Amino acid sequence: MRHSKIKYALYSAIFVPFFFSGSAYGLTVYYLYKLSNFSGGIPFSFGAEPIVDQNTGDVYIIDQAHGGVSIFNKHGMETYQFGHASDLGDITGLDVDKDGNIWTLSYYWGTTNYYIGFCDFRGKLKRKINVTGLPSSGFAVFQPNELFIRGGHIYLVDMGHLLVAQVNRKGACLKAWNISHIMGWDKLSVRTQMSAFGFTIDQKGNMFFTIPTSFRAFKMTPEGKVTGFGQGGDGPGKFGVAAGVAVDTRGYIYIADKLRCVVLIFNKDLRFVREFGYRGYGLGGLIVPTAVAMDRTGTLYVAQGGNRGVDVFRMGYD
- Whether 295 and 302 have beta carbons less than 8 Å apart is answered as no
Domain 1-34+196-318: which CATH number of 2.120.10.30, 3.30.2420.10, 2.40.50.140, 2.120.10.10: 2.120.10.30
Helices (H), the chain: 179-183
- Whether 239 and 215 have beta carbons less than 8 Å apart is answered as yes
Decide: helix, strand or coil at residue 53. coil
pTM of the model: 0.91
- Whether 175 and 156 have beta carbons less than 8 Å apart is answered as no
DSSP 162-228: TEEEEE-TT-BEEEEEEHHHHHTGGGSTTGGG---SEEEE-TTS-EEEEEGGGTEEEEE-TT--EEE
Task: Determine phi and psi for 20, rounding to 5 degrees.
Answer: -110, 135
Domain ranges of the chain: 1-34+196-318
* Residue pLDDT, tens place only, 219-234: 999 999 999 999 999 9
d(CA 90, CA 80): 18
Q: Taking the mean position of all CA atoms in its chain, how far away is CA 254? A: 10
Q: Is the pLDDT of residue 117 over 60?
A: yes
Decide: helix, strand or coil at residue 254. strand
pLDDT of residue 122: 93
The pLDDT-based confidence of 4 (bands split at 50, 70, 90) is very low
Q: What percent of the chain has pLDDT over 90?
A: 80
pLDDT of residue 7: 31
* Residue pLDDT, tens place only, 48-70: 999 999 999 999 999 877 779 99
